Amino acid sequence: MIKMAVLYHSKSGNTCRMAQAIADGMKMVEGVEARIFPIHEPDAAYLAESCCVVMGTPTYLASMSGEMKTWLDGDARRLGLAGKLGGAFATADYVHGGADLAIQGILSHLMVLGMLLYSGGGACGKPVIHLGPVALKDHLEEAEPVFRLYGQRMANQAVKIFG
């Protein structure tokens, strides 16, 4: 089994719910174990063994949440994420509320941490997910299939590289 993790910040539960959908998609790929953790309660031993770590944030002021940024600036740097496959996702209230910018901000941090970035991009066909999946607060249920598919795509790529 290869291990994968989804780390998230979530104040009112939306981002947590979508983290679970991604992990569910990862687990649909044979030989993959996936778990989710709030950023402030990670299982360091499990993360050390994980070959892929995806991170999610609510969108705050067209950016990642302050909690996510503070965590990325500090604790995340001590998790030994270099060389692992990474990705990012966000939830938001509004379609034009800046979720892609929140995702892009996380992806920049993951590069600084030395991670390998992946989303599938346009190469996996439709539905196209360029930077990472976005779910809107009032449409979480309809976004879940896309989040599961993203999890599957991340897991398929992780198996190709690390399996």
Ligand X SMILES: Cc1cc2nc3c(=O)[nH]c(=O)nc-3n(C[C@H](O)[C@H](O)[C@H](O)COP(=O)(O)O)c2cc1C
Please give the residue ranges that form the binding site for ligand X (CB under 6 A): 10-16, 58-62, 91-94, 97-98, 137
Complex with ligand X: residue 14 or 50, whichever CB lies closer: 14
Q: Which residue is nearest to ligand X (CB)?
A: 97
Question: Which amino acid is located at 94 in the chain?
Answer: Y
Complex with ligand X: residue 13 or 31, whichever CB lies closer: 13
Task: Find the shortest distance in angstroms from Cβ 10 to ligand X.
Answer: 3
Task: Find the shortest distance in angstroms from Cβ 107 to ligand X.
Answer: 18
**In which region does residue 65 sit, left (phi positive, over 0), alpha (psi from -120 to 50) or beta (all else)?**
beta
For the stretch 107-110, contacts whose Cβ atoms lie closer than 8 Å and that sit 24 or more positions apart, written own/partner, are 107/131, 107/132, 109/72, 109/76, 110/55, 110/81, 110/86
Task: Find the shortest distance in angstroms from Cβ 83 to ligand X.
Answer: 28
